[in-house]
Structure 1
Amino acid sequence: MMLDEVHGYVNELMSQAVYDSAEVLGTFLLSSMGASSNNAHLTPAVRVEYLVTYARALVGKGEHVRAIAYYRQALQNCEIHARKSAGAANRAFSALSSSSPFRSSGAGRRAEDDLLAEKEATIKFEVAKCHVALNSPRAALAELETVTSRYRTLPLLLTLAKLYRVNGYERAAGSTYRECLRLCPYAVEAWVALAELGVKSEDLASILSQHFPAERAAAVQQQQQQPLDLQSWISQFVSCHRLKRADEADKSVAALGGFIQTFPNNVHLMLELAQAHTVAGNYRDAVSCFQHVRAVDSACVSKMDHYAVALNATNNVVELNRLTHDLLRIDNRKPETWVAASLYWDSKGDRLRALSYVEKGLRLDDTLPMLHLLKGNLCLKLNRPDSAVSSFRKAQTLEPSISAFEGLAKAYAAFRKHKEALVTAREAVRLMPSSPRALLLLGSVYAKQGETRARAMKIFESVLRSNPNCKEAILAVIDIHVANRNLVAAEHILSKHLESNVNDDLHTRLAGIFVEGQKYGQAVEHYHIALSLNEANEEAATGLERLEKIMKGIDPDLLPDDEDE
């Protein structure tokens, strides 16, 4: 059987995804390549083709480490071919450089060299994809950086940009995404990435105008005549992602809601809206959006980590358990699956098991920011602030979200590193100047030091002026009054806010203030109100239990054995 025939059969099998048979047949192809009788007939270029074909069969089987080894052999044959080609060219020029036939053959060799260089770039791209599959982003980046710019295709550039971003090289990622748009302005993921990297709205508009000169006119046309104009759609799409990056949750929700009216049941937009609700703390709205997505696309795994967060925040353990089992059935190699599993066990109080599931997800794919955020929070609960700092930093590198900044500042505070926490909070405000959560973070860091509490109070009051019902700002103001032993002011402010903002956390905090002021009857009343609003409020349940002991004359800090004695 001729080698070319075997090669053809291997390719035919792979085109039908019959990788096991393709791999077995490929071994005969490689064995025949090694036979001395065939050596004279096989050029390095042909050897490259056979080795690449066999490596592709291994990739199809999921054997990425073996595939890399055969891709390396293919690259070695590329080098051999390049050396032979260079030697032949030198001999031709030395023989008779002025002869027209030699000029013609030289041009042919140059074309062949270009094809070989292009093939080499393609192989390196395949090697990089194997490294990505093996969760080795640094090795993948090192491989792609050796490909010269001339042979960087759009898929290669997009992968390179993602790898720059994963490895923390944001400036290089930004310039590479811009190069992607130069090749294809409809590469939507590049627009999204630039928005998420924090490129200013004016710069994004400038880039849009470069690729779509009529973009501004098209935006007007969209409103009047053409609701499906693609250029205007991209502009609006980028704007939604920029708002998400700036943590302007309310504006993001409004923009996405309007967008979905134009494109109903768009899974991507509905997922973005659900995530925006989750980030804003509107967990019930988020759950509703995610349920809508799953009704449209029941096998969707993307952003299900945020769905798990929303379910956990609403204490919906039954649905969280159901989601975990669904994701395990759909794809147990997706990191979102292990976020859901980890949150489920965290909700059951088994933090070590929850952490083990996070680690499992990270071994599969350490590029999902939520895994690092979850690991950081679990490490804080387990009193491991050093590991928490590392996790939040990684999350911040992958996606500089407000949650990453909050976690990092909290981890530094656990280390009593006030200066580092302050730097983190200021950076959050710099990147997200319109974000209430960023301002609250800065205020909370100031509030931890007695000499800067007045500055913290000004920040919290400014947040309340723009959002009078902001629970976090209300509680932060109360904490400062309590720290200053001004219980009357704290009681007055909370009572006033509860007139228009019924919230279990506010009732719990007011009950705690009444306990400190020894107004036990009123404290009991507000603890019961808090538990009637949210029976899963652990702070209210614990506070009520302690208060009942105090009212019985029992020290609430004594252990049960001490009480028996």
Structure 2
Amino acid sequence: MEVPRDQLQLLIDNGLYDSAEMLGCFLMSSTTSSVDISPSARAENMVLFADALYGKKEYRRALNVYRTAYHCSKLIPKQSVSGSRNILPTGNRISSTNPIHVSPFNENEVKFKIGLCHMDLHDIRAALTEMEGIPSKLRTLRINLTMGKLYRMTSYDRAALISYKECLRQCPYTLEAIVALADMGVPLKEIQSVLPQAQSKSGRPPSDLEHVRWLHRYAEAQCAVISQDHKGMSEHFNNLLQRFPNNLHILLETAKAEVAVGRNDEALLNFEKARSLDPYNLTGMDEYAMLLRTRADPSELNRLLNDLLLTDPNRPEVWVASAAYWDRRDDKFRALTYAEKSVRVDERHVPGYIIKGNLLLSLNRAEAAVMSFRRAHQLRPDLRSYQGLVRGNLAILRPKDALMAAREALKAMPHSAKALTLVGDVYAHNPDARDKARKFYESALRLEPGYLGAALALADLRSVEGRNAEAIELLEMYLKDWADDSLHTKLAQIYAVISNLDEALSHYSAALRINPDNEAAKKGLERLERQMKGADPDLPEEDEENEEDDAEAEQEETEY
């Protein structure tokens, strides 16, 4: 043949896809014009050319050539051979054990490649249809893992479970499969049954089984994350960190798990450690950005976003971080634009839906916010999605749906003060159920005395009931141990209600010294200043100016 096929394969193996596509055009010209070329060689030439196109990310062109090659392969006579030449380029090869009577052309590999093209063109069902045509016994690790992901995207959880289990049978160290099975709520014992057993039955020394024990520990940690078992999660991840110090993946998994149960201070520390280990890592950095957004000093968030944009601007984490940055600058609409972009880049990116839901709530678009939180909840339930569903449903006057979400959170996290507080928040919106709300808040504080969210909610409830002295006493008690701007703001609001304006002014000022960007304190202080001037604090400034102008006009008319 005039065009050496092995040279085209060499270009593809080295990732030189532009050169490979150019040479492939010559190969295809020889293939189509020659009458002497066999159907097998013709099909394999087409597959090589399609590989070059796939490497250039020209997925639709590649799909068309792969299909043509597959149809051409039907003309190949069946031969008795022991195996077939692997036609995948390096990095994309899929090896399979072929039966005795097969075609030299590997149809299963081409079916998988056709499926990959469909997947990259976002036609998930067509991709699955192609891959399901590969006999289950001939599916490699890569095929099974890809199919597991596709099944999850289409909510075929039972089929996904089978694919992920098969991955672990083929390679027990496929950690993606362990995480996916835990995410799907598969019981720990069922996951461990597929892993190599940690108990020695052959009299081997215990040291030979250490590599198996940490794998089981990893599965235990992931299941603890999904069941919101913070104590178990911390124990397992800490054990893994002792065995594998400075492990970036474990630090990030720990931090993300702490975010999921609302332990933000601990999560911040672990994200900081992870970032110091690898400043160019993108995984989990959007979660870190969302936490940094709440800090008074925006400089670290600015640096983080700049680093992420320089590393890879096409990842969803970058757009979530951008949304957090613009939200921090109080440009909600611009922030929402970036949040929406993050979920367009990756439709299964949970932090994108979380920040999008929070932004929609702040823009008084509660129904759209509920849809965003519901999607996040479907993908991976955590405290933030429960909180968003409760707040959103209360805002659109659906207390039953809010209570259902809160109770589901409590069922998932029975030992969580935050989940108890969430149920109390729902009852607090009903004047006839405030006694129930109080009991849940008090239970939350007994379980976790340092949880300020429950203390603030209980103080707010007491103030609404007219028990302002008790509310002040509770908040003053917490202020002895925590210099927190939200405590000062709540105290200022209650003092303003009972017309103790000097104390209100003192606490608003203290809140703004701790956090100059506290919007509630800034608005409260503006209102308080109008009140101290003797003006109506609920009257907008423009109306006040109009009233002053009217008064001056009346005075002038009287003088005239």
Q: TM-score range by the shorter chain?
A: 0.7 to 0.9
Among candidates 232, 236, 260, match of residue 241 of structure 2: 260
State the partner residue of 1:123: 110
Residue type at the aligned position of 2:100: A
State the partner residue of 1:463: 444
Q: CA deviation at 1:18?
A: 0.8
Q: CA deviation at 1:188?
A: 1.8
State the partner residue of 1:91: none
Among candidates 399, 409, 419, match of residue 428 of structure 1: 409
Mapped to 1, the partners of 2:418 and 2:353 lie a distance apart of: 20
Is the alpha carbon distance of 1:385 and 1:368 closer, same or farther for their aligned partners in structure 2, counting shifts above 3 Å? Answer: same
Secondary structure at the aligned position of 1:211 is classed as coil
Q: Does 1:378 pair with 2:376? A: no
Is the alpha carbon distance of 1:77 and 1:376 closer, same or farther for their aligned partners in structure 2, counting shifts above 3 Å? Answer: farther
Is the alpha carbon distance of 1:455 and 1:268 closer, same or farther for their aligned partners in structure 2, counting shifts above 3 Å? Answer: same
Is the alpha carbon distance of 1:173 and 1:463 closer, same or farther for their aligned partners in structure 2, counting shifts above 3 Å? Answer: farther
- The aligned length equals 528
Q: CA deviation at 1:348?
A: 1.2
Among candidates 556, 560, 563, match of residue 537 of structure 2: 556
Is the alpha carbon distance of 1:274 and 1:213 closer, same or farther for their aligned partners in structure 2, counting shifts above 3 Å? Answer: closer
State the partner residue of 2:213: 232
State the partner residue of 2:165: 178
Mapped to 2, the partners of 1:193 and 1:187 lie a distance apart of: 10
CA contact (8 A) 2:354 2:384 kept: yes
Q: CA deviation at 1:471?
A: 1.2
State the partner residue of 1:42: 38
Is the alpha carbon distance of 1:321 and 1:500 closer, same or farther for their aligned partners in structure 2, counting shifts above 3 Å? Answer: closer
Residue type at the aligned position of 1:186: Y
Is the alpha carbon distance of 1:210 and 1:447 closer, same or farther for their aligned partners in structure 2, counting shifts above 3 Å? Answer: same
Q: Does 1:15 pair with 2:9? A: no
Q: CA deviation at 1:467?
A: 0.5
Q: CA deviation at 1:545?
A: 1.9
Mapped to 1, the partners of 2:343 and 2:64 lie a distance apart of: 25
Is the alpha carbon distance of 1:132 and 1:488 closer, same or farther for their aligned partners in structure 2, counting shifts above 3 Å? Answer: farther
Q: CA deviation at 1:283?
A: 4.3
Secondary structure at the aligned position of 1:26 is classed as helix
Residue type at the aligned position of 2:144: L
CA contact (8 A) 2:198 2:213 kept: no
State the partner residue of 1:68: 63
Among candidates 83, 93, 100, match of residue 111 of structure 1: 100
Among candidates 441, 450, 461, match of residue 431 of structure 2: 450
TM-score (norm 1): 0.85
State the partner residue of 1:511: 492
Matching of residues 162-561 of structure 1 within 5 Å: 162-200=149-187, 204-209=188-193, 211-215=195-199, 229-249=210-230, 251-561=232-542
State the partner residue of 1:160: 147
Is the alpha carbon distance of 1:510 and 1:212 closer, same or farther for their aligned partners in structure 2, counting shifts above 3 Å? Answer: same
Is the alpha carbon distance of 1:349 and 1:217 closer, same or farther for their aligned partners in structure 2, counting shifts above 3 Å? Answer: farther
Worse overlay, 429-438 or 21-30 = 429-438
Secondary structure at the aligned position of 1:229 is classed as helix
Is the alpha carbon distance of 1:501 and 1:287 closer, same or farther for their aligned partners in structure 2, counting shifts above 3 Å? Answer: closer
Worse overlay, 261-270 or 275-284 = 275-284
Residue type at the aligned position of 1:130: C
State the partner residue of 2:52: 57
Mapped to 2, the partners of 1:480 and 1:563 lie a distance apart of: 32
Q: CA deviation at 1:136?
A: 4.7
Mapped to 2, the partners of 1:422 and 1:287 lie a distance apart of: 30
CA contact (8 A) 1:372 1:392 kept: yes
Mapped to 2, the partners of 1:478 and 1:401 lie a distance apart of: 26
Q: CA deviation at 1:344?
A: 0.9
Worse overlay, 280-289 or 312-321 = 280-289
Residue type at the aligned position of 1:42: S
Mapped to 2, the partners of 1:331 and 1:295 lie a distance apart of: 18
Matching of residues 89-100 of structure 1 within 5 Å: none
Mapped to 2, the partners of 1:277 and 1:152 lie a distance apart of: 37
Q: Does 1:33 pair with 2:27? A: no
Residue type at the aligned position of 1:483: V
Q: CA deviation at 1:135?
A: 4.6
CA contact (8 A) 1:508 1:527 kept: yes
Is the alpha carbon distance of 1:383 and 1:128 closer, same or farther for their aligned partners in structure 2, counting shifts above 3 Å? Answer: farther
State the partner residue of 1:102: none
Mapped to 2, the partners of 1:194 and 1:470 lie a distance apart of: 32
Residue type at the aligned position of 2:107: E
Mapped to 1, the partners of 2:128 and 2:378 lie a distance apart of: 16
Is the alpha carbon distance of 1:69 and 1:423 closer, same or farther for their aligned partners in structure 2, counting shifts above 3 Å? Answer: farther
RMSD over equivalenced CA pairs, Å: 2.9
Residue type at the aligned position of 1:67: A
CA contact (8 A) 2:445 2:451 kept: yes
CA contact (8 A) 2:50 2:66 kept: yes
Is the alpha carbon distance of 1:528 and 1:460 closer, same or farther for their aligned partners in structure 2, counting shifts above 3 Å? Answer: same
Q: CA deviation at 1:441?
A: 2.4
Residue type at the aligned position of 1:168: S
Residue type at the aligned position of 1:196: D
Residue type at the aligned position of 1:330: T
State the partner residue of 2:89: none
CA contact (8 A) 1:249 1:279 kept: no
Is the alpha carbon distance of 1:33 and 1:348 closer, same or farther for their aligned partners in structure 2, counting shifts above 3 Å? Answer: same
CA contact (8 A) 1:253 1:276 kept: no
Q: CA deviation at 1:550?
A: 0.8
Mapped to 2, the partners of 1:281 and 1:161 lie a distance apart of: 30
CA contact (8 A) 2:386 2:406 kept: yes
CA contact (8 A) 1:168 1:398 kept: no
CA contact (8 A) 2:262 2:418 kept: no
Structure 1 stretches of 5 or more lacking a match?
89-108
Q: Does 1:77 pair with 2:76? A: no
State the partner residue of 1:93: none
User: Deviations along 1:97-126, whole A, 9 cap, x unmatched?
Assistant: xxxxxxxxxxxx97343765xx33322322
TM-score (norm 2): 0.86
Residue type at the aligned position of 1:448: H
Mapped to 2, the partners of 1:307 and 1:164 lie a distance apart of: 30
Mapped to 2, the partners of 1:512 and 1:139 lie a distance apart of: 59
Q: CA deviation at 1:57?
A: 1.0
CA contact (8 A) 2:296 2:515 kept: no
Point out the structure with the larger helix share. Answer: 1
Structure 2 stretches of 5 or more lacking a match?
81-97, 547-560
Residue type at the aligned position of 1:208: Q
Secondary structure at the aligned position of 1:413 is classed as helix
User: Deviations along 1:492-536, whole A, 9 cap, x unmatched?
Assistant: 322233333432212211221111122222222222222233232
CA contact (8 A) 1:367 1:398 kept: yes
CA contact (8 A) 1:246 1:435 kept: no
Mapped to 1, the partners of 2:530 and 2:350 lie a distance apart of: 43
Mapped to 2, the partners of 1:405 and 1:80 lie a distance apart of: 57
Residue type at the aligned position of 1:184: C
Residue type at the aligned position of 2:147: L
Q: CA deviation at 1:464?
A: 1.4
